[in-house]
Structure 1
Amino acid sequence: MTIEEQALLLSGDGWWATHGVERLGLPPIALSDGPHGLRKVRRNDSAGAEGSVPSTCFPTASALAATWNVDLLREVGAALGREAQAVDVQVLLGPGINIKRSPLGGRNFEYFSEDPVLAGRAAAAYIEGVQGEGVGTSLKHFAVNSQEDERMATSSDLDLRTLHEIYLPAFEIAVTEARPWTIMSSYNLVNGTYASENAYLLTDVLRRDWGFDGLVVSDWGGINDRVAGVAAGNDLEMPGSGDYNRKKIIAAVEEGRLSKPALARAATEVAALILRAVAGRRPDATFDVEAHHALARRAGAEAIVLLKNDDHVLPIASDKQVALIGAFATTPRYQGAGSSMVNPTQSSNAADELAAIVGDARLSYASGYDAEGETTDALVAEAVQRAEGADLAVIFAGLPDSYESEGFDRRSIDMPPGHVRLIEAVSARQPNVVVVLLNGSAVSMPWASRVKGIVEAWLGGQAGGGAIADVLTGRANPSGKLAETFPASLEQTPTFPNFPGRAGHAVYGEGVFVGYRYYDAKRIEPLFPFGFGLSYTQFAYEAIRTSTMRFDADRDGAVTVEVDVRNIGKVAGKEVVQLYAHERAPVVARPVNELRAFKKVALEPGEQKTVRFTLSRRDFAYYDAAQEAWAVRTGTFEVRAGGSSRDLPLVAAIDVSAAQTRTKPLSRRSLVGEFKRVPGGEALYVELVRALGFGALLSTDDEASMTPDEIVAIRKARMATFAFIDDMPAIKVCAFSHGALSEARLDAMLELARKGLAI
């Protein structure tokens, strides 16, 4: 290709297509928004104001993650792939995989979880499903895209350990296991450098460390410096910018500011994507609209989380009169707002679907509030009257579109005051109240103790009404589990009061303590913990076994963990068996428990199954930022199994061993205490202490002739002295010793230490 042709490929043609190169027979291909449904915009030169073609609106990512069912995610992905083929779309822009740092994140409905393992496994299954149909995916938004406010101008500022332990692993799992065709870079900066021109992320981590061999596309309008982006590894700019950035690329190559190999590499990635997409095209593809709607209903039901069910108020008994309260019962909110908004093939609501199951005669209805969640005395009075005339009141509440959307972050986790007022008024007059929530992320529930049942139905997609009806009537046994912690108040959350970041910076001060990791470390009782969800049956965790009690992280490939779980209830159900790792005496601050594996199993009444997990070295590791590598410390770990992050009845201990981790070379600025912690540095530590005049304190031989009080006193003195010495930079010993330790001798000591390191 000519330089001009290569540069042409690096920018889209309009909003939703790539450029082709007619001379070479290279055609354009189409990209389309996702991720929970295909948003094929009718005009390529438009952002979507003219609407999109009809497609199945599946439950949003927050709901799909709550299924904890990777097989189901794969099914949904395959359905999306078939629909993309049917309308000639070659790349679906999804899934969204960013970690939910705060429940205030405006786009949380579009992301899977606060935990990277759950998010990564869900994304990998989704990608396998879509790409199995010959359609590419675009894993997004890479990386550390946690807020919507000022998203194009804010730097996510965080340390390397937090980056690698929390915000990158989900991407790593999806990339290494499912091989997405493309990765979408995010709008934000990461530690001061735009993600779209961040060579550390796009080249060092993504391509070198993870072996990614696909294309990196910008988020729409996410390019800052196009030339810098190409050099860093951002291949395709979307939407197209005409010849604006193309001229800059050509000029940079001609002037030597951008190398020809860098341009060729990016152009090759675009050409390879086009050829791959063309090879996967199925011109005669169609999809079964009704079958996909049925799949959406099944996925919606499995996503529903039963949060409370006092006195077995659910499922609804066959002889009960039911009052349906709340406009969401007839006009539900079933998807999020923004670029993922789908034009559904059809839609359902809970009122109609319940009527189809139990009959109109058993139901009454009151709207309770308007589209924005506002209510009046008259609407409340009508709702109370309907509730008093029934055996059970089911109140539909949650968040209107204006409360959460792409483009802005939430200001609180409260529901509209009208919804809260309605719940409080009805529950004061009707003892049997169930609240069904339609929302994309966590909400506060000051009324939770006043109602008998709480059903988290999320944004359940176009078949969400039927899914809710199936769960309320017992046609489907709820099996969803929370993929994010529900706090009792905003003040409980890890990022309060510093989310979202302002003035160009979002400081990730909570570090690795995100979500349940924070609540566990601070011993805070949330409203509902991560991984929690009830069922119409009960499960017993009976035994846990490991293939070994001693695991050499450097030599042994893996350790197998087996968990026995039994359905001790009277109806069939599904349980999510969750496995967490806990280090008993960590050298560095680590979360109390970290999810390492999970599996959803179906059990008939009385049935017992053994669930097997395989753990590797990485499952016991933390990220050592000083060495920029994963490290394992010798010590005892516990593997804990159960039904939520706060319900882990089974525990097995494993003694993990590992060789001395590579240590950062000592320098003049290294602390004195660091010398005794590296091979070859122990003798040098003694020399530093003696130069300071405290060599006598290194020996405890004199304690044999001391009284108990004298021993206590000398030990206190040693403790205070060494606390001061060990935290002193080595270069300061020269001045503190009045030159007894020269700078030349210190440099010689450092060279000796470097030669003695086990690198």
Structure 2
Amino acid sequence: MLKNKTIIDKLTVEQKASLMSGKSTWESQDIPEVVPAIFMSDGPHGLRKQMGEADHLGLNESLPATCFPTAATLANSWDEGLVYQVGKCIGEEAKALGVHVVLGPGLNIKRNPKCGRNFEYYSEDPYLAGKLAASSIRGIQANGTIASPKHFAANSQEYRRMASDSIVDERTLREIYTTNFEIAVKEGQPKSIMSSYNLVNGAYANEDSYLLRDILKDEWGFKGFVVSDWGGDNDHTAGVKNGSHLAMPTLGKNGTLELIESVKNGKLDEAVLDQRVDEFLTVVNSVDVSPADGTIDWTQHHEVAKKAAMESVVLLKNEDNVLPLDKTKKVAVIGDFAQTPRYQGAGSSVVNAKNLETTLDVIGNYPLTVSGFAKGYERGGRSNDQLVNEALALAKKSDVILLYAGLDEILESEGMDRTTIDMPKNQLALIQELAETGKPIIVALSAGSVVECSWENKVQGILHGYLGGEAGASAMLEVICGQHNPSGKLNETYPLTYQDVPFGKEFPAKGRYAYYKEGIYVGYRYYDTAKKAVRYPFGYGLSYSSFQYSDLQITKTGIKAVITNTSETAGAEIVQLYVSNPSSTLLRPEKELKGFTKVFLQPKESQTIEIAFDDKTFRYYDVKSRSWKTEAGEYKIMLASSVQDIRLEGQLQVEGTKPESTLLQPKYQRVALEEVTLEDFAELYGKQLPHEEATGQRLLDRTSIIAEMSQAKNPLARLVHRIIRSLLKRSEKKGKPDLNLLFISNMPFRAIAKMTNGMVSLAMVDEMLVMVNGHFFKGFAGLIKQFFQNRKLQKSN
């Protein structure tokens, strides 16, 4: 039964079809006096509302907004209440600025540390990611603003992101890559969700009925609307038919006409179109579209941003208690990041920060004896002996070195994956030079994701602030000076070297298919089960306090335990619940996170904490029945300070069923992932794997990316590709990648029609492909013809 039948009955097919794509880059289509337009804005960690020339890559300026810590930073707080506060502030700013839909949070799984967008995502663990995303959603939607968590689903690389097919076995898809979204949807109740660019097992996520209808709507009870990522609409009819509601940005009149024609020829049942319109209107008609008043409590939001950054700082090393800093020591402040902070990522999430702090501006507010500042290094990795010598001179006349270091902006961006997890060579060289002075070194790290830390033995202290937002500078100084006790813990594993990352050499997948050969062994699930040494384990983080765990009680509904602060310093501890089934007949990780809580304790104080079991504590996904089941057996219940620091454990007999006999692949059973071949993965996958096309010149189609013009039959097309590649390399050498060119290079041909506001039709794209495929003059003539036809169409009423 349609909820908005009275409205829908009054609409023409054309009007209904028009609602299924946007009116502009950021607005949905309206029907005067019937359906209002809603305004959307990027906003995972702060609003990016553009008022001038619009783009979806963060290139053009937006209105000022509070820049909160990124998701990767917030996840280190493990604090659902804090994440809710940040979401609530973002929702308030959205309402004040006339934004109805906040495009976030991002909660994809960090499958590989090189993914260029990891700074926008919470964790390698789906439970942690889902819980924090649910809190963010509830905060954003507290005042009626709509949250749109993204990108659903299995979106794990930026290279070829609009035309990469994630080939992932069913159990892994459900346990790792959709459990995060399941928690977010069920507990956060978002009114929208954004589909991802990529394909999943052969189907574009934006037109995959299994993802969008069977799982999202029917199984999880999602009641909102699905919006495509910008340009992520592949086949508009298939998208609407299979559960997508809104293709963004605008498709112009072409999108409307495509749906009208599909209704006429039977490809799309008008009843299905009515259902999508009904689902969309149910949300849109609940939105308050009254004029925004622009009132924002900037001071209060800045304080929330500071608190969020403080709670998310992770103390990785504190040799001989070098931290907090002694205020009588002369401190050399070194590093360009102290002068020009690295506080957010690059791309669509870029926020025009309202009140950006720098360390040099605020350090005078703290009890430190600063002997001076030296820049130390240049961004972009270029060596500069003069800067190094200035830093060394300052260090030699100081008692301790406070070095601000990490990853440059060029190394973490939407649209490109990282080529290495190493820090820039000039920074590594500077650490070596400073270490030779013999002065204690404290490194304040700024990076949105994993960095290789083999240099840790050259320094005495490491504080990782990730990307701390506009108040990250003062937040870090609060911790350095001991005015705030660090309590953050890592949301991801730091391997010893990138060589330890399973199938790291295959990331990002360069061809059409990204084979998820590691299966369920993602992040700590791999390192912990394979007994692989790591630099810093998942859930790790030091404190200025020490904590004791005792009196574990396990019942059928959850656990209780006593946590005691055994130190003289007040502090907070993040207690992590892990569950294991040692006698399982299934492929299972050594242990899995199934709960957590954060407890603040005064010196010598004890508190009893409780963590309840839920429907995800003991379950596994049974591929044969396509349902969740519980395996009977004696489970190990563990309370831990990190995945490798188990403080208390006990057993619990759990009722359930015995899995049907399952063929256990020996290499997966031994977690010998370095031995796994495509043939082994095919056995896990359960069906024949798709294979890459042969290299060399070939015919390109709508789904081929622009970069594949290197294989085009037309030499002019190959020349255009070489020019694009040359310009990209030139921009990278300058230290600032051209995001527009990167996007174009990775864009499939059909996206030319999807991203040009109706100026280019799919018929025009087809003629371009005729040209690219070796029939230049024929294609050119067809392109001119289709150009005029499309222009006439766009001008018609």
Structure 1 residues 660, 485: CA separation in 2 closer, same or farther (over 3 Å shift)?
Answer: closer
User: Partner of 1:406 in structure 2?
Assistant: 414
SS in 2 for 1:396: strand
**Residue 86 (1) aligns with residue 84 (2):** no
- Give the aligned residue type for 1:636: E
SS at match of 1:447: helix
Partner residue, 1:355: 364
Q: CA–CA distance in 2 between the matches of 1:362 and 1:151?
A: 46
Return the match for 2:599 from 598, 601, 604. Answer: 601
Tell me the distance in 2 between the aligned counterparts of 1:136 and 1:445.
Answer: 40
Matches within 5 A, 1:93-172: 93-172=103-182
- Preserved contact between residue 102 and residue 495 of structure 1 (Cα < 8 Å): no
Which residue pairs with 1:297 in the alignment?
Answer: 306
Aligned equivalent of 2:572 = 574
Contact 2:59 2:347 in 1 (8 A): no
2:86 aligned counterpart, secondary structure: helix
Corresponding residue number in structure 2 for 1:690: none
* In structure 2, distance between residues paired with 1:651 and 1:377: 54
- 2:329 matched residue in structure 1: 320
Which residue of 34, 53, 63 maps to 2:73? 63
Q: TM-score, normalised by structure 2?
A: 0.80
Match of 1:358, SS?
coil
Deviations 1:521-548 (A, max 9, x none): 1111110000000011111112211125
Q: 1:453 aligns with which of 451, 454, 461?
A: 461
SS at structure 1 position matched to 2:427? helix
Q: Deviations over 1:274-306 (max 9, x none)?
A: 212127x57436221111111111111111100
Q: Do 2:441 and 2:461's aligned partners in 1 also have CA atoms closer than 8 Å? A: yes
Q: CA separation in 1, counterparts of 2:212 and 2:53?
A: 28
**More deviation in 418-427 or 38-47?**
38-47
Confirm or deny: 8 A CA contact 2:144 2:288 kept in the other structure. Answer: no
Change (3 A) 1:49 1:441: closer
Deviation of 1:615 (Å): 1.1
Q: Output the amino acid matched with 1:499.
A: F
Taking the aligned partners of 1:584 and 1:660, their CA distance within structure 2 comes to 14
SS in 1 for 2:172: helix
Query: Which residue of structure 2 aligns with residue 371 of structure 1?
Result: 379
Paired AA for residue 638 in structure 2: R
Kept in 2: contact 1:393–1:430 (CA 8 A): no
Q: Deviations over 1:639-669 (max 9, x none)?
A: 10011000012001001121456x69xxxxx
Question: 2 CA distance for matches of 1:43 and 1:268?
Answer: 32
The answer to whether the 8 A contact 1:217-1:237 is kept is yes
Give me the whole-angstrom Cα distance separating, in 1, the residues matched to 2:503 and 2:602: 42
C-alpha distance in 1 between matches for 2:324 and 2:264: 71
State the partner residue of 1:393.
401
CA distance in 2, matches of 1:269, 1:239: 19
Compute the displacement of 1:371 (Å): 2.3
Structure 1 contact 101–495 (Cα < 8 Å) conserved: no
Could you tell me how far apart the structure 2 residues matched to 1:413 and 1:660 are? Answer: 42
- Cα 1:209–1:44 change in 2 (3 A) is farther
Shift, 1:617, TM fit? 4.8
Asked whether the equivalents of residues 54 and 60 of structure 2 are also in contact (C-alpha less than 8 Å), the reply is no
Whether 1:420 aligns to 2:418 is: no
Asked whether 1:204 is paired with 2:202, we answer no
User: 1:653/1:475 Cα in 2 relative to 1: closer, same or farther (>3 Å)?
Assistant: same
Residue of structure 2 aligned with 1:19, choices 29, 35, 39: 29
Distance 1:153 1:389 in 2: 56
Q: Given the alignment of the two structures, is residue 287 of structure 1 paired with residue 296 of structure 2, yes or no?
A: yes
Contact 1:82–1:285, Cα closer than 8 Å, also in 2: no
Q: Which runs of 5+ in 2 are unaligned?
A: 1-10, 664-682, 684-797
Secondary structure of 2:306's match? helix
Contact 2:371 2:394 in 1 (8 A): no
**SS of 1:426's equivalent?**
helix
Question: Matched residues in 1 for 2:485 and 2:477: separation?
Answer: 11
Please state whether the residue corresponding to 2:504 is helix, strand or coil: coil
Superposed displacement of residue 624, structure 1: 1.3
How has the CA–CA distance of structure 1 residues 45 and 565 changed in structure 2, closer, same or farther, with 3 Å as cutoff?
A: closer
Q: Which residue pairs with 1:260 in the alignment?
A: 270
Change (3 A) 1:285 1:382: closer
Between the aligned partners of 1:430 and 1:21, the Cα distance in structure 2 is 71
Matching of residue 31 in structure 1 with residue 29 in structure 2: no
Q: Secondary structure at the match of 1:643?
A: strand
Which region of structure 1 is more displaced relative to structure 2, 41-50 or 376-385? 41-50
Q: Separation in 1 of the partners of 2:325 and 2:358? A: 17
How many residue pairs get aligned? The number is 653
Tell me by how many angstroms 1:46 deviates: 4.6
Would you say the 8 A contact 2:23–2:250 is kept in 1? Answer: yes
Residue 86 of structure 1: how far off its partner (Å):
0.6
Deviation of residue 42 (structure 1)? 0.9
Provide the residue aligned with 1:656 in structure 2: 654
Aligned-pair distance for 1:175?
Answer: 0.4
Contact kept in structure 1, 2:395 and 2:439, CA below 8 Å: no
Q: 2:487 aligned to 479, 483, 488, which one?
A: 479
Alignment match of 1:466 (pick from 471, 474, 480): 474
Code of the aligned partner of 2:574: V
Distance 1:506 1:307 in 2: 33
SS of 1:637's equivalent in the other structure is strand
Residue 478 of structure 1: CA displacement? 0.5
User: Which residue is 1:711 aligned to?
Assistant: none
Q: 1:528 aligns with which of 524, 536, 555?
A: 536
C-alpha contact (below 8 Å) 2:126/2:176 kept by paired residues? yes
Deviation at 1:389, TM superposition (A): 1.0
In 2: Cα distance, 1:97 partner to 1:375 partner: 37
Instruction: Return the offset for 1:573.
Output: 0.5
Offset of residue 202 of structure 1: 0.3
Is the contact made by 2:94 and 2:100 (CA closer than 8 Å) also made in structure 1?
A: yes
Distance (Å, rounded) in 2 between the aligned partners of 1:341 and 1:186:
19
2:692 is aligned to: none
How many percent identity over aligned positions? 43
Q: CA deviation at 1:564?
A: 1.3
Give the whole-Å Cα distance in 1 for the aligned partners of 2:148 and 2:628.
27
RMSD between superposed Cα atoms in Å: 1.6
Task: Verify the 8 A CA contact 1:82 1:286 in the aligned structure 2.
Answer: no
| d(CA) in 1 for partners of 2:22, 2:568 | 57
SS in structure 1 opposite 2:112? coil
Native 8 Å contact 2:560 2:609 kept in 1: yes
Unaligned 5+ segments in structure 1 are 549-558, 665-669, 672-726, 728-759
Paired amino acid for 1:492: D
Kept in 2, the 8 Å contact 1:85–1:282? The answer is: no
* Equivalent residues of 1:572, 1:604 under 8 A apart: yes
Query: Which residue of the partner structure matches residue 310 of structure 1?
Result: 319
Cα contact 2:47–2:94 (8 A) shared by 1 = yes
Measure, in 1, the Cα distance between the counterparts of 2:411 and 2:658.
51
How many angstroms apart in 1 are the aligned matches of 2:273 and 2:382?
56
Give the superposition deviation at 1:623: 1.0
1:225 and 1:657 map into 2 onto residues whose CA distance is: 46
Counterpart in 2 of 1:705? Answer: none
Q: Check 1:7–1:346 CA distance in 2 against 1; reply closer, same or farther (3 A cut).
A: same
* Residue type at the aligned position of 2:534: P
The answer as to whether partners of 2:97 and 2:292 remain within 8 angstroms in 1 is no
Contact 2:490 2:538 in 1 (8 A): yes
Amino acid at match of 2:407: L
Aligned with 2:228 (options 189, 199, 218):
218
